[in-house]
Amino acid sequence: MRRFNRFYTERIGVLHETLLKSEFSLTEVRLLYELAHRDDLTETQLGDELGLDAGYLSRILKSFVLRGFLHRAPKASDGRSSLLVLTARGRTAFAPLDAQSREGVAVKLQTLSGGEQVELVRAMQTIEKLLGAVGRQHSSEQAAIVLRPHAPGDMGWVIGRHAAILLVEPAARGMGIGARLVAECIRFARAHGYRKIMLWTNDVLRAARSLYIAAGFKLVVQERHTSFGHDLVGQTWEMDL
């Protein structure tokens, strides 16, 4: 295990003083990641979930505030607590780090075949499971869920399943996949310099609309139409990035 730890920490570059040749340490980048992907965090939650010393965490968060990366917003359910909210400047600082991290992983995976990539991911999931990560998942990532670009045949399968049930697969419900996919779309758009996201849906799709509202989309247009054999109200939602 110690040999594997030495191998892996060297491969992902965490032995350097800063991460990804940036001004940030590994801990700072991890905090920026959590703040960029969650909107319900308090300082106490963040410290407990990442196992960080309260004083150490407080110093980093104060530095983020001073640099304009972070501000605190009142928590509606508890006036004694405040939510940690990443500012537009903070997201701008994090975006290239996120992109570099993804590009670095992509470069490493390019040397592996599709089957080897699947084997690698499964091995990582096995390590997480055996060391107890599953069952205490607290970050925005689900250990059992892997997002990947579509492969040949995937789109036909998606269309076929959509026609059959018009819903999320029963075995995959309640796992936060919808919210994660929405967050991934937003992350991609911000990382690539888009200024706005627009989406179209129907008012009867209440579960989907709740995801868009939670993510920060605003309703801008509604119009009646007839589709799929029903009278519906179409809605256009937007988010400024």
Please tell me the CATH code under which domain 2-111 is placed.
1.10.10.10
Smallest Cα–Cα separation from 195: which of 204, 186, 203?
Answer: 186
Write out pLDDT tens, residues 51-99.
Answer: 889 999 999 999 999 999 999 888 766 667 788 988 989 989 998 888 8
Least confident of 5-14, 77-86, 167-176: 167-176
pLDDT of residue 4: 86
pTM of the model: 0.55
110 pLDDT band, cuts 50/70/90, is confident
154-240 has which fold?
Aminopeptidase (3.40.630)
Smallest Cα–Cα separation from 195: which of 88, 56, 48?
Answer: 88
Q: How far apart are CA 153 and CA 206, in angstroms?
A: 30
Contact predicate 70/90, CB 8 Å? yes
- Better-scored residue on pLDDT, 231 or 140: 231
Smallest Cα–Cα separation from 138: which of 232, 46, 28?
Answer: 46
**What residues does CATH 1.10.10.10 cover in the chain?**
2-111
pLDDT of 180 higher than 50: yes
Q: How far apart are CA 130 and CA 137, in angstroms?
A: 13
Contact predicate 221/236, CB 8 Å? yes
pLDDT of residue 77: 65
pLDDT of residue 55: 93
